[in-house]
A = this chain, B = another copy of it.
Amino acid sequence: MARKKPKANSCDCQGVRRSRRRDAVLDAVLASGGHLSAEEVHREAKKKMPGIGIATVYRSLKCLCGCGKVAEFIPPDGVARYEAAGSRGHHDHLICTACGCFAEAVDPEIERLQERLAARHGFKLEGHRLEIYGLCARCAKKK
């Protein structure tokens, strides 16, 4: 008889155990629209796990990033933000310099040109980060 498949571990790296807090952290990120700071993730996770500490949130986020479940995004203010990874795939960010809102975007052609640029400099491409700054439609209208 086939062993009953256990509930998926939120982080399945080598030597990592399942834990309800880490699940709660992942759930918080998945449930949100993304772009949560660690503190915001903490606030959300506490709804399911009232006693969860901020240190566990940081540890869990790092772990979840390591196994590709969550993507870390560091805006120019230096405060890391987290969002679900994988499902929605890679994307770049449009950041409004007036209101701070984010938008997501991908341009396949830019992606391709980046590979070319890397190759031209002898770089073996692993990833990239593209952030476009400007005024979002709403803020541009206000001015």
Give me the interface of A with B, judged by CB distance under 8 Å. 74, 76, 78, 92, 94, 96-97, 103, 105, 107, 109-110, 113-114, 116-118, 120-137, 140
Contact = CB atoms under 8 A, between A and B. Distances in A.
A120 B131 CA distance: 15
**Which of A92, A103, A125, A133 is the most central at the interface, judged by chain B CB atoms within 10 Å of its CB?**
A133
Contacts of A76: 74, 129
Contact of A126 (B110, B129, B134): B134
Copies in the complex: 2
Contacts of A129: 76, 129-131, 133
A133 B128 contact: yes
Contacts of A132: 114, 117-118, 123, 125, 127-128
